[in-house]
């Protein structure tokens, strides 16, 4: 009889999946989790980059190459990855896109929604339902400081990050209403030195390594909301109190 994916995880070591781990913060976070004795599944569109990471520790890293925006493949790929890992304790959604789009071209806006809204919802709902079935787990989404306010140069990106933050808040409330130890962490980075950091007026730019270490610590402490790096919490406070017209 074939084993049901939602029935018997193997409890010997902790298992994590990092979605979007071929580069940047996702890649560095996966490395940190492996160094902390996790068995880690990593995903991304660029298989050759995933293979390079797996080569660092093939006994603890499993890869699946797929595009999160292709919803016809997501569920099956996740099920296969969880089965090979032997269960799942932590799911981190790090995949995302962002464009400066002052002219409001429709194509980059729709691509942003497809990845940052539709694919994000698909992955997070899959993860929550898995953890609800197993009565525990940890979901983490890498949103952004951009969730706090609109941006005239990237309106779709900031709006998509606000959606993510609110969706995670909804899952947090759902877990509490179910009285289940499902932990939800909303990770809100400021500027990090990756391909996602666009523009010529960047400040407080963190390295992917530093950002990933702070992300790991926030996950370990089961924080609900964390700013990366921590100084961005000051910025968040200012945004909450200054008038909108400013």
**pLDDT value for 186:** 98
**pLDDT value for 46:** 93
pTM for the predicted model, two decimal places = 0.88
What b-and-e string marks burial along 94-117, b requiring 16 or more CB atoms within 10 Å of the CB? bbbbbbebeeeeeebbeebbbbbb
CA distance 196 to 206: 12
- Beta-strand pair 137-142/39-44: unpaired
The DSSP symbol for 106 reads H
**pLDDT value for 192:** 86
CA distance 184 to 140: 6
What b-and-e string marks burial along 172-207, b requiring 16 or more CB atoms within 10 Å of the CB? beebeeeebebbbbbbbbbbbbbebeeeeeeeeebe
End-to-end CA distance of the chain, in Å?
A: 63
- Tally of residues, the chain: 246
Question: What is the DSSP secondary-structure string of 114-180?
Answer: IIIIIIHHHHHHHHHHHHHHHT-EEEEEE--GGGGS--SS-HHHHHHHHHHHHHHHHHHHHHHHHT-
- Beta-strand pair 182-189/137-142: parallel
Tens-of-pLDDT digits for all 246 residues of the chain?
Answer: 444 555 444 557 999 999 999 999 999 999 999 999 999 999 999 999 999 999 999 999 999 999 999 999 999 999 999 999 999 999 999 999 999 999 999 999 999 999 999 999 999 999 999 999 999 999 999 999 999 988 899 999 999 999 999 999 999 999 999 999 999 999 999 888 765 544 456 656 789 999 999 999 999 999 999 999 888 777 777 777 776 666
The SS3 of residue 210 is helix
> Which helix (H) or strand (E) element contains residue 77?
helix 71-85
The SS3 of residue 75 is helix
Question: What is the DSSP secondary-structure string of 44-68?
Answer: ES-HHHHHHHHTT-TTTEEEEE--T
The per-residue pLDDT for range 164-209, each reduced to its tens digit, is 999 999 999 999 999 999 999 999 998 887 655 444 566 567 899 9
In the chain, where the domains are located: 15-241
**pLDDT value for 2:** 45
**pLDDT value for 83:** 96
CATH number of 15-241: 3.40.50.720
Bond from prior residue into 223 cis (ω within 30 degrees of 0): no
**pLDDT value for 9:** 47
**pLDDT value for 243:** 67
Helix axes 71-85, 120-134, angle to 10 degrees: 40
């Amino acid at each position: 009889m074939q084993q049901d994916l939602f029935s018997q995880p193997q409890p010997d070591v902790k298992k994590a999946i990092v979605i979007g781990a071929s580069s940047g913060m996702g890649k560095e976070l996966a490395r940190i989790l492996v160094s902390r004795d996790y068995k880690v599944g990593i995903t991304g569109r660029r298989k050759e980059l995933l293979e390079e990471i797996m080569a660092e520790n093939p006994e603890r890293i499993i890869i699946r190459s797929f595009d999160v925006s292709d919803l016809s493949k997501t569920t099956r790929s996740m099920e296969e990855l969880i089965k090979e890992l032997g269960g799942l304790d932590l799911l981190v959604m790090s995949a995302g896109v962002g464009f400066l789009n002052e002219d409001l071209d429709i194509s980059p806006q729709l691509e942003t929604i497809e990845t940052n809204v539709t694919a994000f919802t698909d992955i997070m709902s899959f993860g929550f339902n898995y953890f609800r079935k197993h009565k525990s787990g940890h979901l983490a989404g890498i949103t952004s400081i951009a969730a706090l306010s609109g941006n005239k140069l990237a309106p779709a990106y900031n709006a998509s990050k606000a959606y993510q933050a609110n969706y995670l808040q909804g899952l947090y409330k759902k877990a509490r209403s179910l009285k289940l130890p499902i932990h939800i962490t909303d990770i809100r980075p400021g500027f990090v030195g990756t391909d996602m950091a666009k523009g010529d007026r960047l400040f407080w730019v963190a390295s992917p390594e530093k950002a990933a270490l702070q992300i790991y610590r926030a996950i370990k402490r089961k924080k609900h909301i964390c700013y990366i790096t921590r100084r961005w919490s000051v910025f968040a406070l200012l945004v909450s109190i200054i008038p909108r017209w400013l």
